[in-house]
Structures are given as C-alpha cells and as structure tokens.
Structure 1
Amino acid sequence: MRYLSAFLLVIQVMSFVACSSQHSRKTAPSVINGMLDLKNWNFETDGPVKLNGGWEFFWKKLLIHGFSDDKKIEKRSFIINVPGRWNRLNINGEKTGPYGYATYHLRILLKDKDILLGIKFPNIGTAYSVYINGKKITSVGIAGETKETSAPKIFPHIVSFIADKNQLDIDIHVSNFHYYEGGFWS
C-alpha cells in the first residue's frame, strides 16, 4: 500500500508539472542566413527563443547595419553558426585563427513593436559591443581592431530593451586578442 501511495503521488506531481507549463510545445524557429522570423511567435504562450543558427559574419569589419557607408562590404558576408568559435574558418581564401575581430549580424522580424524583450549573453570571446537598430545596448570589455585598442572581459548577463520597431538589426562587434578561442563560445 505504501508503494502504491508513493506511485500515485509521483503521478500527481508529474501531472501537475505537465499541466502547469505555461509554454506551448511549438518548435521555435531557427536563425537561417542571418534572419529570424518571429512574426508568428507569441513569447507569452510559446516561450523564449534561442538565437542559435547561421548569423551573418563580417571578418575584420566592425559594422552597424543601416549606418555603414560601404554597402559593398556589407554584402560580402559569411554565414557562421552561433554558438561556435571562429577559429579555423576559411573566408575568401584567408584562414582565421583565434585572434581578430568581426561583426555578427542578425535581423529579427517581429509581429509587434513596442514590446519588452531580453537577450541572454553567454560567454563571448573576449570583448563585445551590442547594437540594436544602431543603438548600443551593452558592451563587455572593449571590442577593438588590435590588441592595443581592445580590452578583454568575460561577463555573462541578460539585457532587457524595448523593441521600438518590428524589424531588429542586431550587430555584435566581437574582438579577441587575448585568448586561444574567439567568437560565441556558448
């Protein structure tokens, strides 16, 4: 009888947990070729979305989309998987190592604007600045083009912001001149 009671208690707890989940089992879209379409996503019922997938990657360029003068450079991107390291890539015949700098770019399409969103920034190696629609929302360390103009720092954190448009251009300037791996680590 004691085992039956324990079994029923486990079933009740599992049922409660399954029924109390606020998020649907809808599969979240992935980032493809630097684009994430969330027009059919409801954050309240569908839950958070990971920004994993193929981001646009501009090696040895620090760009802010919509504000850069050289459109030819912007069109010459490479797709890189996030999370992932930029070590040992082959970009236009040039092999990358751990040291360097780049812009990661992602365009997100939303159904609504003027909504509160948040982004969790994990370990990015080893300094970065984040711009959304041209406005800097956070930076960790100093992302620079040389070892002398950059300063490393690792600080995972979450940043909240108001999405004032239904199209978000996220540019992340990342530099690494101090560690044996560069890029989005996790």
Structure 2
Amino acid sequence: MVPPSVERRSERARRAILDAALELCQDQSFAGLTMEGIAKRAGVGKQTIYRWWPSKAAILLEALQERGGATLIFPDTGDIVADLRTQMTQVVRAFNDPMFAAYSRGLISAAQSDPEIAAAVVESIIRPRVDLCVDRLAKAQQAGDIHPDANLPDVVELLYAPLYYRLLLHTRPTTEAQVDAVLTMVFQGLRP
C-alpha cells in the first residue's frame, strides 16, 4: 500500500483548519476564537497552524477568500446593471451563508479596534473587489452608460454600502430584492 502523499495530507490539514476556524467563529465571537480551539477542532497540532498562519485573523481571511471566490467575478455582458446584479447577488448569497458570520461578526468587528486586522481585511477582501468593480464601471463609463463625471470609487460605495449597512446593523436581511432596489436608485442618477 502506498502511503498518503505529504502534499495531500497537508491539504487535508489546511482545509480542516480553515473549516474549523469558520465553524468556531460561527459558534462564538472572534475574540473567543483561539489557535488552541482551532487546532483541537481541526484535529491538528498548534505547530501545524503556526507553520502556515501567524494569527487567527490570517486563518479567517484565507478561509473567507476561498469561500467568497464567486464575489470576485464581475461579468461583462455589455449590460452594466445586469452585470452588477449578478455580482451583487453573489455578495448577498455570501452574506447569508452562515459560515460568512466569521467575516461580519468576526473580522469586521475586530477591525474596528485593530488597525492590522483592518488593513488585512481591506487589502485581501475589500480592495480586490473594489478594483474589479471600478474596472467594470470604467468600461461602462467609456461606453457611455454612466455619466462621464461620475467618481467610480464613490459609485462602488453607493452600490455596496446599503448591503453592508444591513449586514452589520441587522436592520433587515440582505436580499436580492435589495440589490434590485439599490441598482434602480443608483442608475437612475448615473445615466447620462
């Protein structure tokens, strides 16, 4: 019998660690999350975790990046509203995924008092998505679908701030209907 490859064993351990961190963050607060708890839930030694990640925030960031892959897709069908609807719907689905609680209850909350976590969240989760959205909006602006004077980073904030508002303040659920309402309100004002 051939022994399991070290690479596969490492991938299994990595996956177990990422899943354990998300599960534990769903069950408790980010502050209550510990490397020891993650190691125990994942069935690995703490040294395995520290070999790959410097902190619990780094583990959650990687887990969320993998889980949120669909939120990095900005289609370009030529219809900016339809394309944003597709992408923003993926964001809503991620926000409604119970495992995504690690992001809303964990990292965003911790980022309010920890500048290092805040910078990591912005650099690894927020900025790549903002840049992709600005690129797609720029194409629409060049095609004449968006007012030529519109500040595109501000447009991104107009589009996504309402989703985050509901996510963080729990005023109402984030829904696909909310996406449609936001797009209608924003694009009535953006059309040339």
Give the TM-score, by structure 1 length: 0.28
The structure whose residues are more often helix, as a share, is 2
RCO higher in structure (CA 8 A, sep ≥6): 1
Q: Which has the larger radius of gyration?
A: 1
Give the TM-score, by structure 2 length: 0.28
